[in-house]
Amino acid sequence: MTDTPTAGAEMLRAENIVKRFGPVTALNGVSLRLRCGEILGILGDNGAGKSTLMKILTGYQPQTSGKLFVDGVETTLRSVDHARALGIECVYQDLALANSLSIYHNIFLNREILYPGLHILNNRAMRREAVRCLEEIGVSVPSVEAEVGSLSGGQRQAIAIARAVQGKARILLLDEPLAAMGAREAALIIDLILRLKAEGDMSIIMIMHNYAQTLDIADRIMLMQHGQVTYENDARATSVPELMTIVRREYQNFQVHRQSA
Ligand SMILES: Nc1ncnc2c1ncn2[C@@H]1O[C@H](COP(=O)(O)OP(=O)(O)OP(=O)(O)O)[C@@H](O)[C@H]1O
Ligand SMILES: [Mg+2]
């Protein structure tokens, strides 16, 4: 499709994205830029608009206004499949895995390998590819035949990421990949994210709740509050106390603003 992009090249850009749901303005002019090989961490309160932004970047729902650019080219994402064809994959907050199916069926969910010319699943090929894919990204599971419902939250998240990576993602969007995880499970996923980054040309946007974890993993962070980006910086140039001060101040401003409106 395109040549291998150089590190630092712009992969994805959003300009002034607005999203309204009837009277609710979920996003009120959000802009962002994601470069090749970069991890962008998005922080923000419940209801700040983070998941809504992800869903727009991944073609799940259209913006009300604003522009998207993929590889520097203005693009209207028509669907999740369209975004996927451009190399954009999302692991949603609710994962969307089928718990009663095996790991390998989940990895190939909605893009099953069929025998050529037949409508019959090639389970052997999918098993083999699933094993290869999990090995490649360093995820260990007892067996690819295991039901996803029997896995821990961390393992399930890893399978969801494996599925996105198997789909040849160049831009990976992760919505709360560490939500409701213990320290050990979170470490597994952090490790996986950092390994994907180390491999080179994967660019990642991840929505996070934990400030310290975000500063550890991300190259750049963005703070979203009430549908807007209120702060953006290199992860190394900021700190947890600074972020907390900004959140508190913004929140107070917003309250004052709302009361006087
Ligand atoms: N389909 C929808 N219809 C109506 N309102 C919606 C819809 N999706 C999101 N919203 C509203 O948009 C706002 C932003 O929601 P969003 O899910 O993007 O927040 P979030 O930052 O992901 O929050 P959380 O941290 O809780 O996941 C909220 O006020 C929410 O109620
Ligand atoms: Mg959300």
Give the number of the atom of ligand 1 that is nearest the alpha carbon of residue 176: 27
User: Is beta strand 24-35 parallel, antiparallel or unpaired with respect to 10-21?
Assistant: antiparallel
| Secondary element (H or E) of residue 117 | none
Are the C-beta atoms of 243 and 42 separated by less than 8 Å?
A: no
Span 108-144, pLDDT tens digits: 988 889 998 888 999 999 999 999 888 877 778 888 9
Which pLDDT score is estimated for 110? 80
Residue 159 lies in a domain: no
> ∠ CA(128), CA(129), CA(132), 5° rounding?
90
Residue 253 lies in a domain: yes
Residue 90 lies in a domain: yes
CATH number for 50: 3.40.50.300
As a whole number, the mean pLDDT across the chain is: 87
Residue 67 lies in a domain: yes
Tokens matching residue 88: 């954009």
**Hey, whose CA ends up nearest to atom 30 of ligand 1?**
47
Pocket test for ligand 1, best of 52, 91, 223 (most atoms within 8 A of CB): 52
| Percentage of residues of the chain with pLDDT beyond 70 | 93
Are the C-beta atoms of 259 and 80 separated by less than 8 Å?
A: no
**Hey, whose CA ends up nearest to atom 11 of ligand 1?**
26
Contacts of residue 232, defined as CB under 8 A and 6 or more positions apart, other chains included, come to: 220, 221, 222, 223
Residue 174 lies in a domain: yes
Residue 5 lies in a domain: no
Q: How close is the Cα of 216 to the center of ligand 2, in Å?
A: 21
The alpha-helical segments, DSSP class H, found in 137-239 are 153-166, 183-198, 211-217
Contacts of residue 24, defined as CB under 8 A and 6 or more positions apart, other chains included, come to: none
Longest CA span, the chain: 66
**Hey, whose CA ends up nearest to atom 17 of ligand 1?**
51
DSSP strand E in the chain: where? 10-21, 24-35, 39-44, 65-70, 73-74, 88-91, 171-175, 203-207, 220-225, 228-234
Pocket test for ligand 1, best of 17, 19, 20, 21 (most atoms within 8 A of CB): 21
Q: How close is the Cα of 17 to the center of ligand 1, in Å?
A: 15
- Who wins on pLDDT, 124 or 169? 124
Pocket test for ligand 1, best of 19, 27, 51 (most atoms within 8 A of CB): 51
With cut-offs at 50, 70 and 90, classify the pLDDT of residue 1. very low
Residue 16 lies in a domain: yes
Whether the predicted pLDDT of 3 surpasses 70: no
With cut-offs at 50, 70 and 90, classify the pLDDT of residue 63. very high
Residue 202 lies in a domain: yes
Domain count for the chain, please give it. Answer: 1
Which residues constitute the domain of residue 195? 10-96+169-260
| Residues in contact with ligand 1 (CB, 6 Å cut-off) | 21, 24, 26, 44, 46-52, 93
Average pLDDT of the segment spanning 180-192: 80
Q: In this structure, how many other beta carbons lie within 10 angstroms of the beta carbon of residue 146?
A: 15
Average pLDDT of the segment spanning 72-99: 88
